[in-house]
Amino acid sequence: MTETLAEKVEAVERTASPYHFAMVEPSEFDVVYEINPWMATTDRPDRELALAQWRTLVDAYRAYGHTVEIIPGVPGLPDMVFAANGGLSVGGIFYTAKFSTEFREAEGPLHAEWQKANTSAKVVEATFVNEGEGDYIALGDRVLAGYGFRSTIESHRELEAVAGREVVSLHLVDSRFYHLDTALCVLDEARGLVAYFPGAFGDESRATLERLFPDAVKVSAEDAEAFAMNSVSDGKHVFHAGAAREFGRIVEELGFVSVPLDLSQFLKAGGGIKCCTMTLRD
Ligand code: ARG
């Protein structure tokens, strides 16, 4: 007899793992250049509202038992609030970001310095263009990696060598979902459960995802456009864009606790919850 989804879900007890995050204060956040389809310098964010939304996210993480390190914002770097792009912390190393655009170039060395001063990770300087956790998602003994818009395949291969883990290259083909963390998210790291928007990936990469994650949740274009895939999950609580209503229902059906949040001001820069969050794994 085959189990129904409800029966399958009931057997799974969702447990939260405490995470250690680093986030950059949005004191300098703004939209003054356009480097992705979400950004329009004619539609700039409301600074006060942005700060309030960001604080709500920090408070939510802390309320659910996570540790959040706060990195101050740096004048002249309006996108630095998107901490996920600052590098990749995995298995004791910190692989530095090397940004694809000059607007954000200075963020890489700043994050590397912060890691040296505040973590035990061994900082490994990247030779090739990559935008850190924006395109790299550590999952079990693999790292899922996006390319096509920002990070390069050369960087994937370099990371594979320095981290000693299999790096699975995934081709991003829709410019609205220009970083992997806008197209795919991990719901349960321990069980290897992910969610993704199939339309963001090229055919071959979609086939790879089908093969690696037969149980994955596939989200609708509507949810993806609401930035549903820019979620953070601790294995029990899923911090996600409140506008992604269907996704909220799906995670609840799967036994997770939906924690809807509004990061509307950051979406004006093409960012969301996950973009604002760097995971420390030192
Ligand atoms: N405006 C930023 C950029 O285009 C947004 C970065 C979003 N970060 C992310 N991890 N997806 O670079």
Residue range 130-145, pLDDT digits in tens: 999 999 999 999 999 9
Q: Ligand 1: distance of its center to the CA of 109 in Å?
A: 17
The answer as to whether 1 is a domain residue is no
Residue nearest to atom 9 of ligand 1 (CA): 275
CATH code for position 30 = 3.75.10.10
73 lies in some domain: yes
- How far is the centre of ligand 1, averaged over its atoms, from the C-alpha of 3 (Å)? 40
Ligand 1 test: best mutation among 137, 179, 182, most atoms within 8 Å of CB?
Answer: 179
- Would residue 126 count as lying in a domain? yes
Ligand 1 mean position, distance from CA 156 (Å) = 19
Tell me, using a 6 A CB cutoff, whether residue 77 lines ligand 1: no
Domain count for the chain, please give it: 1
Checking if the pLDDT of 203 tops 60, the result is: yes
Ligand 1 atom at shortest distance from the alpha carbon of 181: 11
Does any domain span residue 45? yes
The answer to the question of residue 7 being in a domain is no
Contact (Cβ atoms closer than 8 angstroms) between residue 58 and residue 252:
no
Ligand 1 pocket, 134 CB below 6 A?
Answer: yes
The mean pLDDT of 192-197, rounded to a whole number, is 98
Per-residue pLDDT band at 8 (split at 50, 70, 90): low
Q: What is the pLDDT of residues 12-48, one digit of tens each?
A: 899 999 999 999 999 999 999 999 999 999 999 999 9
In this prediction, residue 10 carries a pLDDT of: 59
Portion of the chain with pLDDT greater than 90, in percent:
95
What are 157-180's pLDDT values in tens digits?
Answer: 999 999 999 999 999 999 999 999
ipTM: 0.97
Q: Which residue has the higher pLDDT, 156 or 7?
A: 156
In a domain, 31, yes or no: yes
| Distance from Cα 35 to the centre of ligand 1, integer Å | 9
Q: What range does the domain containing 44 cover? A: 20-279
What band does 1 get if pLDDT is binned at 50, 70 and 90? very low
Ligand 1, atom 7, residue with closest C-alpha: 271
pLDDT interval class at 11 (50, 70, 90): low
29 lines ligand 1 (CB under 6 A): no
Query: Could you write out the DSSP letters of every residue in 76-127?
Result: T-TTTT-GGGGEEEETTEEEEPB-SSTTTTTHHHHHHHHHHHH--PEEE--S
What are the angstrom distances between the C-alpha of 60 and each of 232, 245, 260, 261? 11, 19, 10, 9
- Ligand 1 pocket member 180 (CB < 6 A): no
Residue 8 domain-assigned?
Answer: no
Contacts 24+ apart (CB under 8 A), 147-150: 147/171, 147/172, 148/172, 148/173, 148/178, 148/202, 149/100, 149/175, 149/178, 149/179, 150/100, 150/178, 150/179
Nearest of 5, 14, 11 to residue 238 by alpha carbon: 14
Q: Is residue 14 part of a domain?
A: no
Task: Quote the CA–CA distance of 223 and 232 in Å, as a whole number.
Answer: 15
Left if phi > 0, otherwise alpha if psi is -120 to 50, otherwise beta: which for 65? left
135 lines ligand 1 (CB under 6 A): no
Q: Is the pLDDT of residue 269 over 60?
A: yes
pLDDT per residue as tens digits for the range 59-110: 999 999 999 999 999 999 999 999 999 999 999 999 999 999 999 999 999 9
| Cα separations in angstroms, 51 against 57, 104, 210, 272 | 10, 20, 39, 13
Contact (Cβ atoms closer than 8 angstroms) between residue 187 and residue 174: no
Element (H, E) at 156: helix 153-163
Side chain identity, residue 26: P
Give 226's contacts (C-beta < 8 A, 6+ positions apart): 241, 243, 244, 245, 247
pTM of the model: 0.96
Give the closest residue (by CA) to ligand 1 atom 6: 271
Share the mean pLDDT of the chain.
96
